[in-house]
Structure 1
Amino acid sequence: MNIKPFSPVAVDLSDNGFAPYPLEGKVESLLQQASPSDYQATGATRELYLDLSERIVRMAIDWVDEKGAVIDPVTGEEWKQTTPRFVSSAAVLIAYGRCTEYLETVCKSMAYCCKRLGNGQAKDMSPDFWTRELMTADMCLTGIADPEVQKAWRSDLSKLDCEKTYVFVDPTHGKKLHELHNWAIYASGGEALREMENLGPKDRPFLWGREYFDMYMGPQLDHMTEFGMYRDPGDPITYDITTRLQFTTPLAYGFESKLRETYVELQRRGCLTALLFSQADGFVPYGGRSSGFQFQEIILSAMFELEAQRYKTSNPKLAGAFKRQAHLSAMATQRWLTQMQPLRHIKNGFDPSLRHGIDGYGQYSVYTLLTSSFLGLAALYADDTIAEAPTPAELGGYALELTPAFNKVFAVTRGCYVEIDTVADFNHDATGIGRIHFAGSPFEMILSMPFTHHPKYVFAKGVKHTQQPIAIAPTWLAGDQRISLASFSEGQVTHTTTVHEQSPEKVRLTLDYKHDESHSAISETLTVLPDVVQIATQIKVAEKAADGVVYQIPVLVTDGMSRSKLILEDGKLVGEYRGHRWQITWDATLATATLGDDEFANRHAVCRLLKLDFGTRAVNLKIENLGHIK
């Protein structure tokens, strides 16, 4: 199947209940700026995706047992969607002339998966995720696999009775359809591909293919926003992007549905939004479950390769920005995928056997092979005749707020990226500044995500989580009670965002929070420069200056492999990490500093807590990138 590029023309979705796209023209306007003086093409091509995927598949081949099942090297069991993801990853590589010596093993695993899916034995193995993987593999192995072997697995796929085998279904086609989420979209994407290959009973004794897609994807429009983003429960960023990739895949191959035009337009909007919240170094924002894994960036690579094709003729600058961001996002994973042994499926240096930072379902095999699966899609979608162009994050000069869904504020200059959670999901994050990244510096050096006090993810033995939510944020006294901005959850706090200035070299904005229960008003102004973030915070309780104002900043100790060096002086904390240096500065006559000994962790790093006690005074401090250590 060949890619059929989407139309670049905006579509009015008012009949579907969607307001006009709030960011229409914003990306295009940013792309009119002059390129940074140090801009250079990455030189990346489709081979980048294939190289990274091959590294994973050549490792995973040793996990395949005699039946064709892929056994997780950490847990010692076949984990849910793992084997189909191995099959699709390897099939793409074989289609491009790589790993051809694995063909027999891959076909064995493919046959194993298709038989189990067709006869219902995969019911307890998250089968909703299987079909898209297996259909991708079938497409790639056509003309390569033994025709009789392929005929047999195709026969098995044709027997798949969706509403008996898939888990998240509603055979009554009633109210419950509107309560389903990402699993239903994964299944629908697979069913659309199955329809395109006519792999189902012609008399349609059960719902499958196009009929399944239309039945299940219609109610999913309830979960889409006017920004083109998908809302899974809790608004996790990961499940916005991964879910959209699933329904986009069959549409990109030309799948026809009564919902096609609507979803193609929502994906247009969603990818423009994602281009704005992507970093110059390629990373995806934190937020919610399944955060911090390598596959997140590769989702962007795959989606953005398709978007580059959308604009190839009509808007070469926009096509080039999507193309470049696709490359940058894949390159962002290289430190963990190519420079660590064994490679890491999540962005930390802990040995994978310790499972640090993973959700209970995010096992090493299943999310490593999801990375290679999405790398395969990126390779299939890549058009290397499209030239790169600077991305919005590289050009800088904008603030972006996502509200009321996702509750995020981003501030981006040439060289600096700040992400703020205005109302956090306490199973994973905390309210306040949760990420400050300086381009070219290590991912976790300043802060990549906040810290929750009751995490839903795993910690390495001996590593502790914090006892209270922590972000880069203030605490203060209201009477005899200590209040923390990081602890504010939905329903407890309201806020407004005011953007004062937006230019490539400077973004300045103010967040005004109100906490009625404690009669607190917090006004925090951020001035984001290429190498400096200035923070000025004023807090009032019952209209008077708050007492006991303490500003808290987590300070990196280790990512599980590398360690930082920290030096606390009057009015300054200097850190050194992986050949880079940064500092936090404040007026020592206005604040007393304490660097705690206790260590606490998030998915990416172990930290200590710097506390700056300003008393009743306003907070003023700077976080500064000092660059490479010379």
Structure 2
Amino acid sequence: MNKLHTGSVYPWQTELERFLEQLEITRNRVEDSWTRQRKLTMLEKLVRAYTLHQDETGAIIDPHSESERYYSTPSYALAAAVLVKEGRHDLLESAAAALTHSIACVVEEKAPDQHPDFFPIMMMGAYRLLKHLLPEQATAWKQQLSRIEPEQTYIFTMSKMKNPNRMINWNAIMMSGEFLRAAEGLAADAKWMEAYIRSYHLPRFTGLGLYQDGPLDRPNSPFAYDIVTRFHLGVMLENGYDGGSALELRDHLRRGALSSLLALSPHGEIPPRGRSAQHQWNEAAAAFVFTTHAQQAYTAGERGLAGAFRRAADLCWQAISRWQIDNGKLHIVRNHYSSEARHGFEVYSNHTCYSLWTAAVLAHTLLYGEGIERIAPASIPAEIGSRVLETDGWFQTVIATVDGQQMLVQTSVNDPYNIPGIVRIQQTSLPSLMGPSSAGHADRGFTGFAEGDIFPLSYSPAWQTEDGKWHSLSEGIPGTLEFDRDGGIDPQDGGGSVQVEQSSASDGATDFTLLWRGPFPGVREIRTHYRQMRGKIEVEYELQGNIQHVGALIPLMAYDGRERSVIHHVMSAGEETESIRVEYAGASLEVIPTTEGTNVVWPEELTSVACRNGLLKGARLECTGSRISFIIRLPE
């Protein structure tokens, strides 16, 4: 087959080509029922849930804080305008009122919560759709929009910040809307953007096309802000951006789309690392990226790739739809706690804002995806074949998939917000949260929880030192500097290193070994070996150092805010072998020790551990020696 164009060497080129060859051989066609009409119905239900919260000025009022929050109103304006375009004409007046109010907020520098940078892309999207329907109002909108001075109006500009490290996702988000304003003739030009793109945004892209958000000298690289920044820059390209950085930017976004496709879970979720993880807008942004790249691939004659992108977009819609409740609103984070509880919310997470921003991004996806139904959906990489992928830059994640099953190992050893170990297991036959789907934290960082203890709990090695104390790899390596959730961390601080010692993928299996070195208490080196097959993950830990016992931490899904799991400590005949079985949402998962003499212990500090999805309960496997192994058995 011909190699796909990815510019210079694409790190995952071999895995990408192998996947496309598998698609050609299997000629796999997927019927997933995610038609454009179904997507419109989901969007309309979400938007109309907030029409009830619009006041006489056009603002959307958050029912929990009883005030207008962040960029809820322009998000509503765009989403409602797209629905008007699709024939829901009764929303015209409401959409127009929200747009009028939003423009006034920016021009008068009164944007709620000081977030004007997020307004222009949604205001301009709504303006373009409504201006022909309401010509008199459009004249007033045009006059107001023409008054905006970017360096003065917005916050994340060099004029305001005077700091290149602060030219993060906010700046790219603002520019995407400002490009649309220039394209409409409402700004002098868009040439000023070139310096920002060239100096502050292109350097953040890795070889995989992933955008590293955070300070330039030590980006903290959340997957959420990778995907959302690529969404905004993608809107610019879709609208004709052809500046001096266009070719390089297009290559980065192409690579990023391919990488997101290869990393997407079988449940349609992006990896969970970093702040804002598991918020529904993550997958909304991914849906846009996959939709636009499906159409680009189809136009280029890459029909198999186009089908996989189409399927990936549909799975993202499906991932979000699972969390839409009967009244149309969303659980904005993947748990069933009430919005008032704010479990798993970041300090800045707001129910109305993030519900409506999700709606706005999905509306963009429909707006730019009118031709996607001509593309037949095909399996995504997580559904067929086997591969082990190591992210580049500061994303510090190893992704292993085999035939509808995926496991993620984070390799950050000195970041208390992103702990090391297996942090997610998902399989098509399991409920998405069961694996579990997220780990605990050593430091809550931005995240708040309604209940549960903060503890670094993941599938990770543990050991007892000669002083009788237990430690684990998930604790990481303490740095010399206090953790700064805003500024990120220096990956060299505190020492330590991780390397992929070996990895392989064959039909129906993946196999890889990580070597961890660092100043761990009592331990010099740790090898973690993972062999994965459909329905089974075999894990072995080997430690070198002065220890009394070796162990393994086992995170178990306990409570999602609505449903509690049933956790069994199983003793076999004669009580010579112990194991663990978890029953949750009609499915079961087992953890079975395979090292002779292993005991299952339930430490008090692991009784109730907070995670984004609810609560985890932790067990510890313990035995003598320097090695311990176990099997995670999943339904096939």
TM-score by length of 2: 0.90
Query: Is the 1:414–1:505 Cα contact (8 Å) retained in structure 2?
Result: yes
The match for 1:624 among 594, 609, 633 is 633
The match for 1:364 among 351, 361, 366 is 351
Give the 5 Å matches for 1:33-432.
Answer: 33=22, 40-98=30-88, 100-122=89-111, 125-144=114-133, 146-171=134-159, 176-177=163-164, 179-200=166-187, 204=188, 209-219=189-199, 220-233=201-214, 234-313=220-299, 314-338=301-325, 343-382=330-369, 383=371, 384-423=373-412, 426=415, 428-432=417-421
Identity across aligned pairs (percent)?
Answer: 26
- Distance verdict in 2 for CA 1:460–1:407, change over 3 Å: closer
Deviations 1:353-378 (A, max 9, x none): 11111111111011111110111111
Residue 456 in structure 1 maps to residue 465 in structure 2: no
Aligned to 1:564: 565
**Aligned-pair CA distance for 1:264:** 0.5
Q: C-alpha separation between the residues in 2 aligned to 1:230 and 1:77?
A: 33
Residue 511 in structure 1 maps to residue 507 in structure 2: no
Aligned to 2:537: 533
Aligned to 1:581: 588
Aligned to 2:486: none
Aligned to 2:487: none
Residue 11 in structure 1 maps to residue 14 in structure 2: no
Query: Is the 2:429–2:635 Cα contact (8 Å) retained in structure 1?
Result: no
Does the residue aligned with 1:312 lie in a helix, a strand or coil?
helix
Query: Is the 2:407–2:422 Cα contact (8 Å) retained in structure 1?
Result: yes
Does the residue aligned with 1:554 lie in a helix, a strand or coil?
strand
Residue 601 in structure 1 maps to residue 610 in structure 2: yes
- Distance verdict in 2 for CA 1:341–1:184, change over 3 Å: closer
Aligned to 2:217: none
Aligned to 1:17: none
Does the residue aligned with 2:437 lie in a helix, a strand or coil?
coil
Aligned to 1:5: none
Q: C-alpha separation between the residues in 1 aligned to 2:206 and 2:263?
A: 16
Aligned to 2:574: none
Q: C-alpha separation between the residues in 2 aligned to 1:340 and 1:436?
A: 31
Query: Is the 1:36–1:395 Cα contact (8 Å) retained in structure 2?
Result: no
Q: C-alpha separation between the residues in 1 aligned to 2:242 and 2:363?
A: 23
Q: Tell me, which stretches of 5 or more residues in structure 1 are unaligned?
A: 1-7, 13-19
1:521 counterpart letter in structure 2: E
**Aligned-pair CA distance for 1:50:** 1.8
Give the number of equivalent residue pairs. 598
Aligned to 2:431: 442
**Aligned-pair CA distance for 1:616:** 1.8
Q: C-alpha separation between the residues in 1 aligned to 2:456 and 2:462?
A: 11
**Aligned-pair CA distance for 1:393:** 1.2
Deviations 1:194-227 (A, max 9, x none): 1111112xxx4xxxx4123213212211211121
Query: Is the 2:12–2:389 Cα contact (8 Å) retained in structure 1?
Result: no
Deviations 1:165-210 (A, max 9, x none): 100111399x73454111100011111111111112xxx4xxxx41
Residue 495 in structure 1 maps to residue 498 in structure 2: yes
Q: C-alpha separation between the residues in 1 aligned to 2:26 and 2:6?
A: 29
Q: C-alpha separation between the residues in 1 aligned to 2:433 and 2:47?
A: 27
**Aligned-pair CA distance for 1:607:** 1.4
**Aligned-pair CA distance for 1:29:** 2.2
Does the residue aligned with 1:42 lie in a helix, a strand or coil?
coil
Deviations 1:563-590 (A, max 9, x none): 1111111222111111111111114842
Q: C-alpha separation between the residues in 2 aligned to 1:364 and 1:615?
A: 49
Does the residue aligned with 2:159 lie in a helix, a strand or coil?
coil
Aligned to 1:15: none
- Distance verdict in 2 for CA 1:45–1:213, change over 3 Å: farther
- Distance verdict in 2 for CA 1:179–1:459, change over 3 Å: closer
Deviations 1:583-613 (A, max 9, x none): 1111484211023462121111211111111
Deviations 1:96-150 (A, max 9, x none): 113x212112111101111221233338531111000111111222333x11112
Deviations 1:474-504 (A, max 9, x none): 1113443543211214333211113443124
1:550 counterpart letter in structure 2: G
Query: Is the 1:553–1:611 Cα contact (8 Å) retained in structure 2?
Result: yes
Query: Is the 2:120–2:174 Cα contact (8 Å) retained in structure 1?
Result: yes
Deviations 1:251-291 (A, max 9, x none): 11212211111111100111111111101221111011001
Query: Is the 2:544–2:626 Cα contact (8 Å) retained in structure 1?
Result: no
Q: C-alpha separation between the residues in 1 aligned to 2:616 and 2:110?
A: 45
Q: C-alpha separation between the residues in 1 aligned to 2:138 and 2:126?
A: 11
**Aligned-pair CA distance for 1:618:** 1.5
Q: C-alpha separation between the residues in 2 aligned to 1:216 and 1:154?
A: 26
2:207 counterpart letter in structure 1: E
Q: C-alpha separation between the residues in 1 aligned to 2:333 and 2:519?
A: 39
- Distance verdict in 2 for CA 1:345–1:378, change over 3 Å: same
2:260 counterpart letter in structure 1: A
2:569 counterpart letter in structure 1: L
Does the residue aligned with 2:500 lie in a helix, a strand or coil?
strand
Aligned to 1:548: 549
Does the residue aligned with 1:576 lie in a helix, a strand or coil?
strand
Aligned to 1:3: none
Does the residue aligned with 1:231 lie in a helix, a strand or coil?
coil
Q: Which moved more, 1:475-484 or 1:217-226?
A: 475-484
- Distance verdict in 2 for CA 1:341–1:102, change over 3 Å: closer
**Aligned-pair CA distance for 1:454:** 2.1
1:232 counterpart letter in structure 2: D
**Aligned-pair CA distance for 1:82:** 1.2
Aligned to 2:597: 590
1:464 counterpart letter in structure 2: G
Deviations 1:384-436 (A, max 9, x none): 11111221111131010013421110100002101111006745331111011
Q: Which moved more, 1:118-127 or 1:130-139?
A: 118-127
**Aligned-pair CA distance for 1:161:** 1.0
**Aligned-pair CA distance for 1:548:** 1.9
Does the residue aligned with 1:451 lie in a helix, a strand or coil?
coil
